[in-house]
Structure 1
């Protein structure tokens, strides 16, 4: 009989077994392989953004139809987060990762070879759906890491995700200028196939025995049950929604003022901003180590304060590219720090349900990203860059206020990754 206040969820093994130190040795080289694979997979979601005009001209697509390329990719990604990522809790994760990567290769080839708009759109939806292998890899890495090092490992792997997002537009723009937009997807298909081969050789097999007679519908409902019963998960999901709304507010609209007076920057030059953001993403890997030391509450508060502060230099973008650079570094550092802390803490709630936890959390990430993008681009057209910065600062301030109101909440002892960690 469960103790009062405990959480009953459908899991693939006992919590005690999942917390044992895994026999597989997670070396730094393997962690870096996870990071590279995550970055390469998630980049496929963002490759199309600087290529939309060229794609439209090549396939004679209307502006509205061209815009649906990005929409369908993100819809596919959102569907995959809920329906595919949770499978990592019951399937052999190595086979699941390799299988999804090989299917992703096929989807990328379909996009590269598309001769009609219908085939392109179907291929992009499939690319988004299968790119969620990124989150399966994050959960896999977290499950292989010893509890005392889980924050550091999640920090490094998530750093790969953020770098992939930031560099995707730069890489696709440069490669398309040289050899055409189709080469972007052919190159990605080749890299993905290579990663599938390497991961098949390196990754261990699933060590837990999946539960018998577990229906897929019940399995998915258990994800909703986790959100209903775990206050920490709900709170961290809200943090994720707010920080990625702020993140998307910047990155979905910053090209607009930079392409106008007084800068008139090219698409390649604007895409190079991602290189500046990488500095913030790399610096934020420290957040994982701080979480391992029991400083997650303090790390979250400081990062959210930096996120609010980042919008001050960003508001001077029209007058100074240096101010823009400072703001980009601060914003990416803050977002990455909170994101790493979120994933480390929620995985520790139920390590044997790690894929469901991270998949469900990332649904909030998708909602936040979509909200920020739609709101920022719409607001810029009617009120300009200052209004966009005010919107981003508002998302950030709500996150900081939420942290201030909940930081003294008494956490459930069972939710602590370790005895020294403060989950809020």
Structure 2
């Protein structure tokens, strides 16, 4: 819950927070489509080149576990600015790296500092009035997902024209400009927690034990994030082999898929009206059905319809994410940072396996096998919902308003 006397964030500040989230989280995905270009340039063997993405995402996971909880202890604006500066310096380090060791250290640091995005999300919820909290979370999270989706096509276009080092110099500049705007415009928020840092970390686990809704929402989103990563790992292979698209065609397909981010404000509006659980049900069913449809349209050779299923899968992930965060941020108003840290760590750690599942399933049985697994993941999440999901006290109160 937000404070009773909290005023709504201005549209300009909300938009800035959305852009900042997108700019920071994009740093995790720029290198994903450029491994073949970066690896030989810095002296990494093909077998070790996967570490380029792995270390960046490992750093993000470490930041989720050990930095995001600090937002319940340290003045939030200061923490976000420090993280933004670190991410910009990390990108510069990547751009200047001449060998694998320097590159991988800089990639790890960039990943750690990019968790500033996950400090911004609960801060946006805290600074928003309760009546608009879901919509605010939806707008900010739409920026985050747009950053994820645009990172791959932007990386392909910029690196193709100017080289991969120029891409990371560009990202450092964008991140620095976002940091300056946050410094000038972001409201301050000093938490009133008296816990020590070690107690703060321990309490994240206690929050998971205490709130069944937090565990369930993390499980739903972890499953959907696995499916999301599975899709975006296997889809470029489908586009190359089935539809004969080149790098620019794949980039345009990913750009079209970013349209799923438009679902976030809708999810936020529905959550504010007390329909978070119904939105979750729709999201889980939509994911399962979209994977089934994706299998059929690829078999039929329908490229545009395949792009539509990409938008629907992304929309399902967004609908579930926003409705879930609207619920979990209402569980304990003083522990938003720790709740988000526990939630996102579970989502990220398990969700990262989707890339491995996507590549392995496609190699084993082609797109039909990958899409079947994606549909099964959606079905499992839907089964969890039907068997275990019940409205928590904050949800019941919201539904009555």
Structure richer in helix, relative to its length: 2
Given the superposition, is the C-alpha separation of residues 267 and 253 from structure 1 closer, same or farther in structure 2, using an over 3 Å criterion?
same
CA-to-aligned-CA distance 1:306-353 (integer Å, 9 cap, x gap): 111101221132521022112111111111000011111101101211
In the alignment, the residues of structure 2 paired with residue 87 and residue 418 of structure 1 have an alpha-carbon distance, to the nearest angstrom, of 29
In the alignment, the residues of structure 1 paired with residue 356 and residue 272 of structure 2 have an alpha-carbon distance, to the nearest angstrom, of 36
Alignment-derived partner of residue 42 in structure 2: 59
In the alignment, the residues of structure 2 paired with residue 324 and residue 419 of structure 1 have an alpha-carbon distance, to the nearest angstrom, of 38
Question: Which range moves more in the overlay, 130-139 or 265-274?
Answer: 265-274
Residue of structure 1 aligned with 2:227, choices 206, 223, 246: 246
Residue of structure 1 aligned with 2:284, choices 280, 291, 304: 304
Q: Is the 8 A contact 1:85 1:136 kept in 2?
A: yes
Alignment-derived partner of residue 129 in structure 1: 112
Q: Is the 8 A contact 2:276 2:326 kept in 1?
A: no
Alignment-derived partner of residue 10 in structure 1: none
1:145-164 alignment to 2 at 5 Å?
Answer: 145-164=128-147
Residue of structure 1 aligned with 2:66, choices 72, 75, 83: 83
Alignment-derived partner of residue 372 in structure 2: 390
Runs of 4+ in 1 over 6 A off after TM superposition: none
Partner SS, residue 400 of structure 1: helix
Asked if residue 419 in structure 1 is aligned to residue 371 in structure 2, the reply is no
TM-score (norm 1): 0.91
1:282-293 alignment to 2 at 5 Å?
Answer: 282-293=262-273
CA-to-aligned-CA distance 1:268-324 (integer Å, 9 cap, x gap): 211222222222211342011001001111111111111111012211325210221
Q: How far off its partner does 1:405 sit?
A: 1.5
Asked if residue 22 in structure 1 is aligned to residue 6 in structure 2, the reply is yes
RMSD across aligned positions (CA) = 1.6
Q: Is the 8 A contact 2:218 2:346 kept in 1?
A: yes
Given the superposition, is the C-alpha separation of residues 105 and 62 from structure 1 closer, same or farther in structure 2, using an over 3 Å criterion?
same
Q: Which consecutive residues of structure 2, in runs of 5 or more, have no partner in the other structure?
A: none
Asked if residue 225 in structure 1 is aligned to residue 206 in structure 2, the reply is yes
Partner SS, residue 234 of structure 2: coil
In the alignment, the residues of structure 2 paired with residue 150 and residue 166 of structure 1 have an alpha-carbon distance, to the nearest angstrom, of 24
Residue of structure 2 aligned with 1:331, choices 298, 310, 313: 313
Q: Is the 8 A contact 1:166 1:278 kept in 2?
A: yes
Partner SS, residue 330 of structure 2: helix
Alignment-derived partner of residue 217 in structure 2: 236
In the alignment, the residues of structure 1 paired with residue 259 and residue 196 of structure 2 have an alpha-carbon distance, to the nearest angstrom, of 44
Asked if residue 340 in structure 1 is aligned to residue 340 in structure 2, the reply is no
Q: How far off its partner does 1:421 sit?
A: 6.5
Asked if residue 68 in structure 1 is aligned to residue 32 in structure 2, the reply is no
Alignment-derived partner of residue 364 in structure 1: 346
In the alignment, the residues of structure 1 paired with residue 186 and residue 347 of structure 2 have an alpha-carbon distance, to the nearest angstrom, of 27
In the alignment, the residues of structure 2 paired with residue 209 and residue 335 of structure 1 have an alpha-carbon distance, to the nearest angstrom, of 33
In the alignment, the residues of structure 1 paired with residue 396 and residue 128 of structure 2 have an alpha-carbon distance, to the nearest angstrom, of 12
In the alignment, the residues of structure 1 paired with residue 56 and residue 349 of structure 2 have an alpha-carbon distance, to the nearest angstrom, of 14
1:179-218 alignment to 2 at 5 Å?
Answer: 179-211=162-194, 214-218=195-199
Alignment-derived partner of residue 7 in structure 1: none
Alignment-derived partner of residue 97 in structure 2: 114
Q: Is the 8 A contact 2:193 2:334 kept in 1?
A: no
In the alignment, the residues of structure 1 paired with residue 176 and residue 289 of structure 2 have an alpha-carbon distance, to the nearest angstrom, of 42
In the alignment, the residues of structure 1 paired with residue 398 and residue 283 of structure 2 have an alpha-carbon distance, to the nearest angstrom, of 23
TM-score (norm 2): 0.96
Alignment-derived partner of residue 85 in structure 2: 102
Q: Is the 8 A contact 1:38 1:160 kept in 2?
A: yes
Alignment-derived partner of residue 267 in structure 1: 247
In the alignment, the residues of structure 2 paired with residue 73 and residue 349 of structure 1 have an alpha-carbon distance, to the nearest angstrom, of 31
Q: Which consecutive residues of structure 1, in runs of 5 or more, have no partner in the other structure?
A: 1-14
In the alignment, the residues of structure 1 paired with residue 257 and residue 174 of structure 2 have an alpha-carbon distance, to the nearest angstrom, of 23
